Structure 1
Amino acid sequence: MKSQNPFLLSAVTAAVLTLVNQTAAQAQSAAPTEPVPSKEVAAEVQQVVVTGVASARGVRKVDSAFSITTATEEQLKQASPSSTADVMKLVPGVYAESTGGQSGANIEVRGFPSGSDSPFVSVQLMGNPIFPPPTLSFFEGSSAFRLDDTVERVEVLRGGPSTIWSNAQPGATMNFILKEGTDTPEGSVRFTTGTGSLRRVDMYYGGKISDGWYGSVGGFYRKTDGVRDAGFPADDGHQLTATLTRKLDDGKLTMYVRNTDDKNAFYTGVPLISSNGGHTISQFPGFNALTGTLMSGEMRNFTIEAAPGKTLNRDLADGRGLKATVFGADFDQKIGEWSVSNKFNRFDGDLNTNAMFTGNNPLSMNDYLNAAIASANGNAATVAAAGGKLATAGTATYVHGGAVDGSQQVVQAGLWSVAKKLTSFTDELRVSKDIGHGNTVTVGGYFADYSSHDVWYLGNSHLMTAVPQASLINVTLNNGVVVSKNGTDGNVFYAPVASYDGRNTAAFISDEWKVNDRIKIDFGMRHEQQKISGTISNLTSADTDNNPLTVYNNGTSMPDGSNTYLSRTDSANSFTIGGNYKLAKDTAVFVRANRGHTFISFDDLRGAGTQAKVNDRGILPTPKVSQYEIGFKTATQMYSAYINAFHTEFDGIAFSQVLADGRELHSISGSKGNGVEFELAVRPIENLQLALTGDYQKSEYRDNPDTAGKTVQRQPKLQFRFTPTYKIPFGDGNSAKLYATYTSIGERWADQANQQYLPSYRTIDAGVLFSLGDKIEVRLSGTNLNNELGLTEGNSRLTAGGTGPINARPLFGRTWEASVLYRF
């Protein structure tokens, strides 16, 4: 891996110098020398982005003074993302761990320290956050959005001016723009099949309703067994989206509504073999890590012993699903010398989790029995209930009959249930005016009101074989102790019921100064206040069957009928300043500095436990981040390049980790990072494009003696993707487009202490698109064609790695999809 770094960085440096020299030559030449751009290239050169700019009407991408990546509908389809989070593989400086399925991804932004979920990635629809907090426990923003053919494009802004707009995300903002009806009616239907018996249909139609009125409607229905076959459907759901647009004199109003009902299996770690200090990962005997999952039909419908006389039934097929409706509007109007923009939305949804979470590493049945005997004999209450008799042996049988061999490898995994009801309302108002001398001032405000109601049942450990579609195991000891019944070998160790409310208000002002035809400078400030509160049940523990010999349900966590009320108010200021200098018509350099923040979350209230700790800024600080960037942008018929160097400094972020036994670990750290992001494309001949995207960074923790100097967890120093695309015209509007992507992800650490090593990996994806005139498209694509066994996550229930049998989450194995689209 190290040997590649100098080569790649040298190549990027050479490319930048070449492009700058060519740009200077073009600026001095009066006569155009390039051929007429193709439709695709012309669209890229004139691409307008609306994310991160004061004007609702946007700015050309090559003229923007910040780092932003865009992807059209075709580019999204060509990337074959397995989920919304997987779209981030198109974005340099972002690493998405999307191997959990449609929901529950971990997304890391370069230089930003985060342990799980996606605290520094906000997901927007039509410029408004779908749910204002980007992450809560058992929720991350991409889980609230599903891709389909109603999406026109996505824009992903990293840092830059996002610290003053909308919900002020200092990391990355993923903004999905919906298709709207136009004067030309457009409709399509697409049928897709693929790995896991995928059956999917996407539909869309948009057009003119009457003078000034336009509409669109579309959605999808999908059902699949999944790449990792659990013996029951992994994904089963549908979505419907509609827009209504009213074109006004010098303005527009767009209203939209989206309803989603989608159930998605959630995948966690599988058994693997680690050797060579974690640098070598191989398959566990009898377990295909690329296609296997421990989940099975035998445990699909599981039971939770919640309290004496109270049992709950849950379905693993519900996974981490989404049942929600979002409604919103986007208004933009020019009134005399004033421009007015307002965006609002309302989100109401259930984002429940019924999923398996792996616990300790695999071990033999005999080793498990020995540990169970020692544990039972070491518990005085259990020994007393057994009449003082110590256990000397145990019996292990399958729940469906038959003895379990002592050499059989087994694992423990919790079947967790979390009910999560989320609601929110957000609104952002902007008013802009040209005050003369090239200055356009924008003032505005942001308001968000949001809530979460949670009912958790964590733990509920089950004993099972370490094989795909595992079998559950019962264990009894020879002194009458029942270690495992119907596979259940552990209690519910954490069962809070909580209701949270939050409210954010912000005011901002910015000025964009066009100094001359080449130079633009912008500056913005924001003041924001957050008020959050939570009512959290106090917990007690009890034996659900009042039998000390059934050790699997002793000490079950449950609410005791009383509650703790916690609240906190915070305020913070943010700013951004940037400048853009045009070297030529379609070439520019920019600089940017900003200072942003994040606020503590609902989960921080719960984790602190007392009002005194909530108020202690040493325990729960308000994290601050500073970013500095310098970048280069150009887009021509022959090549395009978007390159920026960055520096980040982070202060005071709190981390938490839930261990296999239910304990929570908490820490506070800062970080600093330096690096370079690049998006390069060369078109040496007609119909051929060679693209290279990625980033190199060095980010490490600081301010905490336990982690200072350690590499920021989960983030590779180097990642890049090389994508060649070649289009073969056949005449009469027919063509075939061939494309492939080689992805290289560098080594990472799964934990802050850098003890769980994650090796580098490389994958190959490829596809072909046949266009038969303007009406029919046939696409065949495949991902991870080389069946790379790459790890995206270690065992998040343990604090250190190890060798031998482990649990970890690898990439999905080779997958394929075939689709037919018809336009009308």
Structure 2
Amino acid sequence: MKTLFTKGMLASAVAVALAQPTMAQEESKQPTSDNTEVIIVSGTPGGAGIRKIDASFAVTNIDAGDIGRLAPKSTADLFKAIPGVWVESSGGESGANVFVRGFPGGGDAPFLTIAMDGSPIYPAPTLSFLENSQLFRIDETIQMVEGLRGGPNPVVSNGQPGLTANFRLKRGSDTTEALAKYTVSDYGLNRVDVVASGALDDDLYYMVGGYIKSSQGIRDAGFNSEQGNQFTINITKVFDNGELNLYTRQTDDRGTWYLPTPLNVEGIDANYTQIGPLNRQATITYGADNVTESFDFGDGRGWDGHVSGGSLKLDLADGWALIDRFNITKGAANTFGLVPNGSAVTVGDVADNGESATGAVTGVVYDADTPIQQIGRWVVLKDIESFTNDLAVSKSWDSVDASFGIYSATTKAEDWWSLGNHAYHVLVPGGEALNGIECNNSAEGCGWNYDINSVGDASTMAFYATSTWYYNADLSIDAGIRRENHEVNYTVDEGLDGVITKAVQYDETKTSWTLGANYALTDNSGVFMRMNRGYKMPYFDDFRDNFGAFSAGNDLIQEVTQGELGYKFMNEEVQFFATAFTNEVKGDTFVRRPGAPAEILTNEAYGVELDGRYSHDSGFSLSVNATIQETEITASATNEGNEAQRQPGWQVRVTPSYGFEIGDMFATVYGTLSAVDDRFGNNENTVVLDGYEKVDVGFTVEPTESLRIQFSVDNLTDEQGITEGDPRNPDSPNGRYIMPRSMQLSATYMFF
């Protein structure tokens, strides 16, 4: 007799939610829990819980222990462990590019939503110089992340048709626990993490934690270019019929924005970065009146703000339940970068005397053969604010569950940019600007300039309904529909002269839908299938970059249609999902750089995702995730028939680990082999980015029950892989290397 857990699922959402993990000690030995009881909350109305084995969609769950072993260098870096996702995290802790299932894109993360405890942290997945991972930092307060691709995503929450990465915070329990962790590295990292949890009163629980850190960066900037701190409070009150949860996460964290570097200049490799003591302070010129102002470009790219919110879950009896999730985000997400413009040249090519130029700081004379490059001093000041609320009411009958929800969101962004201010710099790490080159000292600079002052407000109101019919103990069929209205008001002053050059008043409504089925083959295995259609609604930068297309009647909405067919197997030793997918994205608009014309295209893709893990009582475990996909641009004025840019045809990650006893101590050795295929660096398919392999290794030992020591090496062989070319100048021989080899050592002490 097969287990029918899902019947009455929505009505029991509160009970499931109350069973979420507390801040118990992270597992260091092999898990003993039954994989079939893994609970996920992504992709369900209001975040109601469901067993992973019963879901009619694919979700990858990564718990705190896995996160610790993966030791991601950034939030986006963690998403490499999710199949169907291609991550370019070589830009540093902020500024990643994330692609999903072959969906088109020119950078940033247009089809990624990061959620905290089920609420989107910012409704717009991508604005220029801002993608969701810039607003989120991983620390010891995270219990688990769930990565949902496609599935019912287009109907629930904010209607993201791509990837939703839902981070679940640790919670307190009746047991008081605490953890302190100190981490150092070979690149000067000093980091302290702390977290504590327990009970404040009967049925009132807390979790508090955070970190403080400083380093010169994996690519040594010559000063402490990466600094930050974060503090999180999570309070939960349990009632007889539900719970109230409130949290706030205060973050002030920044780091160098790593940019593409010349690939054809001797001595320039993965350790090179443009920023350094000789150029971190610079004066730029902007606006119609050629105003000058100095900035510290060592501030890089980061987030100074808060993400706060909570949830209310109530069992209303008679099969009714209510879940309300809300979130407020507010702060500054500024960017200060030294951005290359075009190919490397030599001093002799551009010097006023044709022979030499002089360092603007040191006075050193550089001869005609010295490699140099135009570097732009870019300043982006961005203040953002958002509020989201997702209210879902559900009812359970004998063979049918139904839910009805209202999702609302307001989004605001105020931008001040000065892009350009190009000047020739010496091509050495942190190379200085030069005198003796005419354009270096002119108000116009050596390249193009683009300055704006803009403000935008957006509001979204969506009504959705979902229902699941349990035909029998083996078969369930679910469907959902969403009606969403999206409004945008946006104005832009291009040129910083006080004249509004673009103004937008936008109001569009779309209907999304999903239809799925789940069939249990046995208690531990099943198959599922799904079709859905969703939309990526436009935000502020879409209108600025595509104002001509919008003025001509294009609504700038991207329509996404997807199909999935999957197999799953889960028991005490194995978790395995295989998902075949196909999709079509219509109406994508690609802009090579701000101010450049847009390309509007349609993209199709199909492929297979593999997501598996095997754990044995002997201490051995093996995790595998792989993606094989084909992409094609099916409608384009110039690139029809080409592959989608910057996405590999295949990628695979294999992570073995082995736990064993050393005397009275327990130890684990582990490693990860990552391999990716060649990619095209542009939609024209004229730039090929070679595939590469990368090896990471690590070792943990526990001298006592409370003490754990971990040593890890990222990129053991110091592979010089390339994640992307130069998105602003695709034909220039520039590219972004993966991070060079680095090592970390940490000591964790747990209090019970």
TM normalised by structure 1 equals: 0.85
CA distance in structure 1 between the partners assigned to 2:30 and 2:621 by the alignment = 14
CA distance in structure 1 between the partners assigned to 2:613 and 2:366 by the alignment = 58
CA distance in structure 1 between the partners assigned to 2:656 and 2:439 by the alignment = 57
1:596 counterpart (525, 534, 545): 534
Match of 2:644 in 1: 712
SS at 2:175's partner residue?
A: coil
1:30-60: per-residue Cα shift (whole Å, max 9, x none)? Answer: xxxxxxxx96152533210000023644111
Structure 1 residue identity aligned to 2:308: F
CA distance in structure 2 between the partners assigned to 1:236 and 1:130 by the alignment = 22
1:134 counterpart (125, 144, 169): 125
Shift of 1:500: 0.3
Q: 461-470 or 348-357: which moved more?
A: 461-470
Go from structure 1 to structure 2 and tell me whether the alpha carbon gap of 1:623 and 1:486 turns closer, same or farther (over 3 Å shift).
closer
1:292-341: per-residue Cα shift (whole Å, max 9, x none)? Answer: 21211111111112244732111122111110112101111101121000
Kept after mapping to 2: 8 A contact 1:736/1:769: yes
Match of 2:379 in 1: 417
SS at 1:85's partner residue?
A: helix
Match of 2:11 in 1: none
SS at 2:383's partner residue?
A: strand
Shift of 1:663: 4.9
Kept after mapping to 2: 8 A contact 1:696/1:718: yes
Structure 2 residue identity aligned to 1:146: R
Structure 1 residue identity aligned to 2:476: K
Identity of aligned pairs, percent? 32
Match of 1:445 in 2: 406
CA distance in structure 1 between the partners assigned to 2:635 and 2:96 by the alignment = 28
Matched, 1:729 2:661: yes
Matched, 1:682 2:614: yes
Alignment of 1:354-393 (within 5 A): 354-369=336-351
Match of 1:15 in 2: none
Match of 1:291 in 2: 271
Kept after mapping to 2: 8 A contact 1:306/1:492: no
Match of 1:229 in 2: 220
SS at 2:217's partner residue?
A: coil
Q: 677-686 or 170-179: which moved more?
A: 677-686
Match of 2:592 in 1: 657
Go from structure 1 to structure 2 and tell me whether the alpha carbon gap of 1:685 and 1:325 turns closer, same or farther (over 3 Å shift).
closer
CA distance in structure 2 between the partners assigned to 1:350 and 1:174 by the alignment = 22
TM normalised by structure 2 equals: 0.93
CA distance in structure 2 between the partners assigned to 1:559 and 1:513 by the alignment = 60
Shift of 1:679: 1.2
SS at 1:576's partner residue?
A: strand
Matched, 1:426 2:388: yes
2:519 counterpart (561, 567, 581): 581
CA distance in structure 2 between the partners assigned to 1:293 and 1:94 by the alignment = 27
Alignment of 1:810-821 (within 5 A): 810-821=737-748
Shift of 1:492: 6.7
Alignment of 1:300-379 (within 5 A): 300-307=280-287, 308=289, 310-337=291-318, 338-369=320-351
Match of 1:406 in 2: 368
CA distance in structure 2 between the partners assigned to 1:615 and 1:448 by the alignment = 26
Kept after mapping to 2: 8 A contact 1:472/1:487: no
Kept after mapping to 2: 8 A contact 1:414/1:459: yes
Go from structure 1 to structure 2 and tell me whether the alpha carbon gap of 1:616 and 1:437 turns closer, same or farther (over 3 Å shift).
farther
Alignment of 1:263-282 (within 5 A): 263-273=254-264
1:645-674: per-residue Cα shift (whole Å, max 9, x none)? Answer: 11111111111111xxx7513111111111
SS at 1:664's partner residue?
A: coil
Query: How many residues are matched?
Result: 720
Go from structure 1 to structure 2 and tell me whether the alpha carbon gap of 1:562 and 1:119 turns closer, same or farther (over 3 Å shift).
closer
Kept after mapping to 2: 8 A contact 1:305/1:492: no
Go from structure 1 to structure 2 and tell me whether the alpha carbon gap of 1:639 and 1:737 turns closer, same or farther (over 3 Å shift).
same
Match of 1:496 in 2: 452
CA distance in structure 1 between the partners assigned to 2:376 and 2:118 by the alignment = 38
CA distance in structure 1 between the partners assigned to 2:746 and 2:251 by the alignment = 22
CA distance in structure 2 between the partners assigned to 1:138 and 1:354 by the alignment = 10
Kept after mapping to 1: 8 A contact 2:173/2:199: yes
Matched, 1:468 2:451: no
Match of 2:697 in 1: 766
SS at 1:559's partner residue?
A: coil
Shift of 1:634: 1.0
Match of 1:121 in 2: 112
Matched, 1:571 2:498: no
Structure 2 residue identity aligned to 1:688: F
1:701 counterpart (633, 642, 646): 633
Kept after mapping to 2: 8 A contact 1:263/1:317: no
Shift of 1:535: 1.6
Shift of 1:159: 0.3
Alignment of 1:475-554 (within 5 A): 475-476=436-437, 482-485=438-441, 489-490=445-446, 493-539=449-495
Structure 2 residue identity aligned to 1:327: S
Match of 1:752 in 2: 683
Shift of 1:491: 6.3
CA distance in structure 1 between the partners assigned to 2:553 and 2:166 by the alignment = 33
Q: Which runs of 5+ in 2 are unaligned?
A: 1-28
SS at 1:99's partner residue?
A: coil
SS at 2:430's partner residue?
A: coil
CA distance in structure 2 between the partners assigned to 1:242 and 1:115 by the alignment = 36
Matched, 1:207 2:198: yes
Match of 2:22 in 1: none
Kept after mapping to 1: 8 A contact 2:308/2:328: yes
- Name the larger-Rg structure: 1
Alignment of 1:768-787 (within 5 A): 768-787=699-718
CA distance in structure 2 between the partners assigned to 1:290 and 1:633 by the alignment = 40
CA distance in structure 1 between the partners assigned to 2:41 and 2:471 by the alignment = 22
Go from structure 1 to structure 2 and tell me whether the alpha carbon gap of 1:56 and 1:608 turns closer, same or farther (over 3 Å shift).
closer
CA distance in structure 2 between the partners assigned to 1:709 and 1:50 by the alignment = 39
Structure 2 residue identity aligned to 1:533: N
Kept after mapping to 2: 8 A contact 1:474/1:486: no
Higher helix share: 1
Kept after mapping to 2: 8 A contact 1:462/1:488: no
Match of 2:13 in 1: none
Structure 2 residue identity aligned to 1:304: I
Structure 1 residue identity aligned to 2:477: I
Match of 1:7 in 2: none
Matched, 1:616 2:552: yes
Go from structure 1 to structure 2 and tell me whether the alpha carbon gap of 1:440 and 1:823 turns closer, same or farther (over 3 Å shift).
same
1:455-490: per-residue Cα shift (whole Å, max 9, x none)? Answer: 0000011211111221221125xxxxx332399943
CA distance in structure 2 between the partners assigned to 1:443 and 1:350 by the alignment = 35
Q: Which runs of 5+ in 1 are unaligned?
A: 1-37, 274-283, 374-391, 477-481, 540-557
SS at 1:668's partner residue?
A: strand
Matched, 1:456 2:383: no
CA distance in structure 2 between the partners assigned to 1:488 and 1:238 by the alignment = 38
CA distance in structure 2 between the partners assigned to 1:595 and 1:195 by the alignment = 48
Kept after mapping to 1: 8 A contact 2:135/2:303: yes
Match of 2:182 in 1: 191
Kept after mapping to 2: 8 A contact 1:596/1:624: yes
CA distance in structure 1 between the partners assigned to 2:640 and 2:651 by the alignment = 24
CA distance in structure 2 between the partners assigned to 1:360 and 1:648 by the alignment = 35
Kept after mapping to 2: 8 A contact 1:735/1:771: yes
TM-align CA RMSD: 1.8
Structure 2 residue identity aligned to 1:167: N
SS at 2:138's partner residue?
A: coil
Go from structure 1 to structure 2 and tell me whether the alpha carbon gap of 1:521 and 1:411 turns closer, same or farther (over 3 Å shift).
same
Kept after mapping to 1: 8 A contact 2:30/2:619: no
